[in-house]
Structure 1
Amino acid sequence: MIRRFKSRYGAVPVLLLAALSPFQLAYAQTVTGTIDATITLVAACAVNGDTATSNVDFGSLDFGSVSTFFTSTDAQVDGNGSGNISVQCSPGSDATITIDSGANDAAVAGGGRALANGSVYIPYDIYSDAGFSTVLNNGSTLSVSGDGTAQTVPIYGRAVGVTGLSPGTYTDTISVTLTF
């Protein structure tokens, strides 16, 4: 329906007046554009399911409870509840685990690793194989394939009994570095 109003010139359609008016009616405008979305993925590794980059728990080497007169006892690093360290790295991110020093290194004859209870020490070594033939000295490295799947890294330990041991808990802490 067209509205009309009366003027001294007669009935003029409102639309015609609007077109002739110095004021223009506002019309809806359309603006188009884009949103840029990005993500940058960096190489990562998880140790025993933990993706932290410091203070990571690689596991424990628990020789259990033995007599003070033991000759030797063996253990395996338990990193994820199944007896191995588990390392999962991004595809293309091969990694190296470096076994560093322990808190009590050189406290025993021969300068190897030692479990300590005060000033009493029990010598031990860690190995990369269950046959205890390849010792992991300070600076030893283990390779991990970066293929996106969890890789198991077994580490074994053997403690050797010495005379004069007192009952108690003997401990050591070995530093480990994962580089990828």
Structure 2
Amino acid sequence: MGKPAFILAALCAAAFSMPAHADITGTIDATITLTTACRINNAVVPDTTTGVDFGTIDFGTQNSYFTTADAQLVGTVGNGIAIQCSDGIEPTIAFSGGSFAGLGSSNTGTTGARAMKHTADANYVTYNLYEDVAGGTAIPVDGTIVLASDGSVQTVPIFGRAFGANSLVTGTYSDVVVVTVSFNP
């Protein structure tokens, strides 16, 4: 076989052995797993988060002979606590007794279940938390409020009423109530 015939035979063999066009196909898998979650005061809060600031109940400045003082929880979204959990999840809000529950007395005939302590002395101003207008339905120590499981934003107003007492010394009184939002996925 001469050189030109050999080249022609090699080109023919290559043309028949190499495909002119080849398609290679495959797949890409895309997945996502969603877990239940809650938004508290417009922020997504991961499970087991601590130190969330739910707001302040400020009874203002009163004279030492006051009988009652009312206030409402003011937080980052206005009055109350705004909670939105995944649809089908029933959130529960629990309120501790605070740091001084059961201490102090009142001269009004009503002694609050919680108490604010004077910054320097062992004096207490008692108070209650309410889930409606101050003086309405009291939230007991370790009491809970159960919300709907429809996935909507629910704003829970929290009110407070402080009760005066005999022999209160002037100064600042305070307490810290632990708020726990629970939900079961």
Equivalent residue, structure 2, for 1:90: 86
Whether the aligned pair in 2 keeps the contact of 1:126 and 1:136 (CA below 8 Å) is: yes
Q: Distance in 1 between matches of 2:152 and 2:177?
A: 26
Equivalent residue, structure 2, for 1:64: 60
**In the TM superposition, what is the alpha-carbon distance from 1:66 to its structure 2 partner?**
1.3
Q: Distance in 2 between matches of 1:15 and 1:146?
A: 79
Q: Distance in 2 between matches of 1:73 and 1:152?
A: 23
| Higher-helix-fraction structure | 2
Choose the corresponding residue for 1:51, options 9, 30, 44. 44
**What amino acid maps onto 2:104 in structure 1?**
V
Q: Distance in 2 between matches of 1:179 and 1:115?
A: 26
Gaps of at least 5 residues in structure 1 are 1-7
Q: How many residues align?
A: 171
**In the TM superposition, what is the alpha-carbon distance from 1:111 to its structure 2 partner?**
7.7
Equivalent residue, structure 2, for 1:3: none
Whether the aligned pair in 2 keeps the contact of 1:124 and 1:158 (CA below 8 Å) is: yes
Query: RMSD between aligned alpha carbons?
Result: 2.4
Gaps of at least 5 residues in structure 2 are 106-110
Equivalent residue, structure 2, for 1:173: 176
Rg larger for: 1
Equivalent residue, structure 2, for 1:105: 101
Choose the corresponding residue for 1:135, options 129, 133, 138. 138
